Amino acid sequence: MSKMFDLTGKVALLTGASKGMGLAMATALAEHGARVVISARKQDQLDEAAAVINAAVGKDLVSGVACNIGYREQIEALVAKTRSDAGPIDVVIGNAGVNPYYGSILDIPDEAYEKTMQANVQSDLWLANAVAPDMIEKGEGSMAFTSSIGAFKPSSMLGVYGMSKLALIGLIRNLALELGPKGIRVNAICPGLIKTDFAKELWNNPAAKERAEKEIPLRRLGNPEDLAGLAVFLAAPASRYITGQAFTVDGGSVMWT
């Protein structure tokens, strides 16, 4: 294996990783040698996911720690548990997020707005704050957070979600600026329409399939595994001079935006 993508000895923490894109990214990191801690809200789902990855890689490299990203104390406990179980953290991928509301931004209840912004923006700031000391001490590290191509265009149904993901890119750029002198890289992953449970309302219908076949240059919707290579790239030495960027993984659907 090229050292450029070798993650042997690295400790990676991923949120929103019991299924879908997070699970695919965690699997890829473990396949490249990382010790991986995955997190989501339900411990039983995490245990099942960890067992699947460990069986696939033939080593016990992955374990799960339950956490609700809506609470700062739970994020800090997750980071502390990761540190005690696996060691100082080298890589973090914040993939957890929410979308509790579909419809006009003029009609969104305050509670849904606040939940969206806290889970999709503030929780990643909490996570960055919690893991940064490990990376600062080492003089290097990689943080990546899952934004969305929804950040790049307005939407009549997903407006606040898109706003939160654009704000997240703003957060990432500021973290990249502030943490860069410490050797820490911070980047955004911006998926298009990926066939996950989270996005099922958007893709599980004939109209979405038809739209994908006509409008996406690669003529298909994305799969969780399409995120795996980028996750490894951003975690590995291969991307050592890249920070503050927003990488789209969308089959070419927003290259004109």
Catalytically active residues are 161
- Angstrom CA distances, 63 to 31, 158, 232, stand at 14, 33, 18
Exposure string for 30-54, b = 16+ CB within 10 A, e = fewer: bbbbbbbbbbbbeeebbeebbeebb
Contact 25, 228 (CB under 8 A): yes
Rounded CA separation 23/241 (Å): 26
Rounded CA separation 121/114 (Å): 10
